Amino acid sequence: MRITALIVTYNRLDKLKISIEATLALPFQHIVVVDNDSNDGTSDWLNTLQDPRLNIIRTPDNVGGSGGFKYGVRYLINNINTDWVVFYDDDAWPSASFIKNFENLNKRDSVVYCSKVIDKYNIICAMNIPWKKIPKSLSENIAYYKDKTSFCAGADERTDVLTFSFVGCIIPISVLEKTYELIREDLFIYFDDVFYSYQLSLQKIKIIYEPLLIIHHDVDSQGENKFPAWKVYYLMRNMIRSRFILGSDSFFSGVAMFLRALKYFEKCYTADNILLYLKYYFKGVWHGIKNVGGKNH
């Protein structure tokens, strides 16, 4: 079994060093690092690394997480002989037992697997939990906000799911070869992994959440209520653009989008600069309606 790590990085050298150290300690056959045109010394540091398993590629511009992963997959398909690809960001890394546990799974090479992701405090990382059922109606969305257990994978429950995060998904190269063009680089960041994985589910490609596979994510998942103002632009824009990208199969129903829009609006009261937050919020709404993509912050 040949397994490759695919890491995308942008201007987080301190975190990347931790991720690379943990990755090099594991028996990956290949490690592909996509440097998203960082300007913090990342390129110089990567050039000092001597491990022959490393493949360092640099994008001409910052193309975001979505563009970086697509760039990396295209490189993999054309240059590396592998069976499986493990995706993660520069602030994440697999546990010491990750590859051994994956090798021991009774797995099929047509199935996608996703990992249990834990944060810096060893708490399940909410942002990376996959959906097993999508709330569509008003009653389902209310139930989702009250108790997510019927809609999301349980932390320690092996189960079929409909989506995955690009932090800790393990995708067969055979699936990537047929579907990687579905990764929308124009999303830049947020929902790119959800929309891609949901389209795999629509194609009847099985996705399994496997809690024996653990990924560490260096974030505080309990402190997600506050984030930079520019991030709300991509959350709003890409949520609305799902109607253009997925059409009648849109991941978000009208009710779900309305409730999320309210949720994101309420977060303006926790922003350091409320006016800037609202500027990005309404810019995201407008660009979503106009189906504008790319980096816009």
Instruction: Report the C-alpha gap between 135 and 147 in whole angstroms.
Output: 12
Partners of residue 54 on adjacent β-strands: 31
- Is there a contact between 3 and 83 (Cβ–Cβ < 8 Å)? yes
Three-state secondary structure call for residue 29: coil
Q: What per-residue confidence (pLDDT) applies to 270?
A: 87
**pLDDT score for 261:** 96
What is this structure's pTM? 0.95
- Say whether 26 sits in a helix, a strand or coil: coil
Measured from the Cβ of residue 65, the count of other Cβ atoms closer than 10 Å reads 25
What are the tens digits of pLDDT across the range 9-40?
A: 999 999 999 999 999 999 999 999 999 999 99
Residue with tokens 């990208």: 245
pLDDT in the model for residue 260? 95
Cα-based angle 142, 127, 247 (whole degrees, multiple of 5): 65
CB burial string 168-192: b at 16+ within 10 A, e below: bbbbbbebbeebbebbbbbbbbbbb
Task: List the chain residues with pLDDT less than 50.
Answer: none
**Phi and psi based region of residue 162 (left: phi greater than 0; alpha: psi -120 to 50; beta: remaining):** alpha
**CA gap 13, 43 in Å, rounded:** 9
Four-residue CA torsion sign, 25, 26, 30, 32: negative
pLDDT given at position 82: 98
Residue 59: per-residue pLDDT: 97
Query: Which three-class secondary structure string do you get for 226-293?
Result: CCCHHHHHHHHHHHHHHHHHHHHHCCCCHHHHHHHHHHHHHHHHHCCCHHHHHHHHHHHHHHHHCCCC
What confidence tens digit (pLDDT) does each residue in 195-234 have? 999 999 999 999 999 999 999 999 988 765 677 899 999 9
pLDDT at position 220 is 87
The pLDDT of residue 225: 61
Closest C-alpha among 36, 23, 30 to residue 68 = 36
Q: Are 243 and 250 in contact (CB under 8 A)?
A: yes
**Distance of alpha carbon 39 from the chain centroid:** 23
Beta strands in 36-155 (DSSP E): 54-58, 84-89, 92-94, 112-118
